[in-house]
Amino acid sequence: MSRPLPRRTVLRGMLAGVAVAVPLPRLAAMLDGNGTAWADQTPLLPRYLTWFFGNGADPTQWVPQAVGHGAEWSLSPSLMPLAEFKPWLSVLSGYEVKIPALYAHKSAPAAVLTGAQAAMNGDVTAPSIDQKIAALINKDTAFPSGVHVGISNVTGAGALDFNISFNGPNAPNPPNYSPADLFATLLTLSGAQEPDPSLFRRKNILDVVAEEAKALQHQLGAEDRVRLDRHLEGIAELQTQIDATITAADCGTPIDPDVAYPNRGEDGSISLDRCRAFADLLAFACACELTRVASFVFSCAACHAPYTEAGLGNVTFHEDFGHRLSPMGIDYATGGFHTGVAYAMSGLAELLKRFRDTPDVTGNLLDNAVIYTTSCVGQPWDHRMDDFPLLVAGKAGGLLRGDLHHRAPGDNASKVPFSLLKLFGSPETSFGAAEGLVSETIPELLA
Identify residues 356-395 at the interface with other proteins (CB under 8 A): 381-385
In angstroms, give the least distance from the CB of 382 to other proteins: 5
Using CB under 8 A, which residues numbered 271 to 330 contact other proteins?
Answer: 302, 304-306, 313-316, 318-320, 323-327, 329-330
Is residue 206 at the binding interface for other proteins, with CB under 8 A as the rule? yes
Q: What's at 91, amino acid-wise?
A: V
Binding part of the chain for other proteins, among 208-216, 338-346, 361-369, 429-437 by CB under 8 A, reads 208-216
| First and final C-alpha spacing in the chain | 41
Window 184-203: contact mask with other proteins (x via CB under 8 A):
-x---------------xx-
Nearer to other proteins, 73 or 284 (CB): 284
Q: Which of 50, 145, 188, 374 binds other proteins (CB under 8 A)?
A: 145
In angstroms, give the least distance from the CB of 212 to other proteins: 5
Q: At what angle do helices 415-423 and 129-137 cross, to 10 degrees?
A: 10
Is residue 132 at the binding interface for other proteins, with CB under 8 A as the rule? no
Is residue 270 at the binding interface for other proteins, with CB under 8 A as the rule? no
Rg (C-alpha) for the chain, rounded Å, is 22
* Number of residues engaging other proteins in binding (CB under 8 A): 85
Q: Which of 10, 205, 434, 447 binds other proteins (CB under 8 A)?
A: 205
Sign of CA dihedral 430, 436, 442, 446: negative
Nearer to other proteins, 29 or 208 (CB): 208
Closest CA to 165 of 60, 52, 264, 57: 52
Q: How far apart are CA 433 and CA 132, in angstroms?
A: 15
Q: Which of 26, 98, 132, 148 binds other proteins (CB under 8 A)?
A: 148
In angstroms, give the least distance from the CB of 118 to other proteins: 9
Using CB under 8 A, which residues numbered 98 to 127 contact other proteins?
Answer: 101-106, 119-123
Strands (E), 301-418: 359-360, 363-364, 369-374, 390-393, 404-407
Nearer to other proteins, 333 or 348 (CB): 333
Is residue 424 at the binding interface for other proteins, with CB under 8 A as the rule? no
Q: Which DSSP string do the residues of 90-128 spell out, in sequence order?
A: EEEES-B--S---STTTHHHHHHHHSSPBPTTS-BSS--
Q: Which of 151, 159, 361, 413 binds other proteins (CB under 8 A)?
A: 159
- CA atoms within 13 Å, Cβ hemisphere of 52: 33
In angstroms, give the least distance from the CB of 72 to other proteins: 33
Q: Which of 33, 212, 262, 263 binds other proteins (CB under 8 A)?
A: 212
Between the alpha carbon of residue 126 and those of residues 112, 230, 332, the distances in Å are: 11, 16, 39
Is residue 208 at the binding interface for other proteins, with CB under 8 A as the rule? yes
Nearer to other proteins, 105 or 422 (CB): 105
Nearer to other proteins, 154 or 369 (CB): 154
Sign of CA dihedral 176, 181, 183, 184: negative
Sign of CA dihedral 444, 379, 302, 55: positive
In angstroms, give the least distance from the CB of 417 to other proteins: 21
Binding part of the chain for other proteins, among 59-67, 85-93, 138-146, 433-441 by CB under 8 A, reads 138-146
Q: How far apart are CA 168 and CA 86, in angstroms?
A: 34
Q: How far apart are CA 111 and CA 428, in angstroms?
A: 18
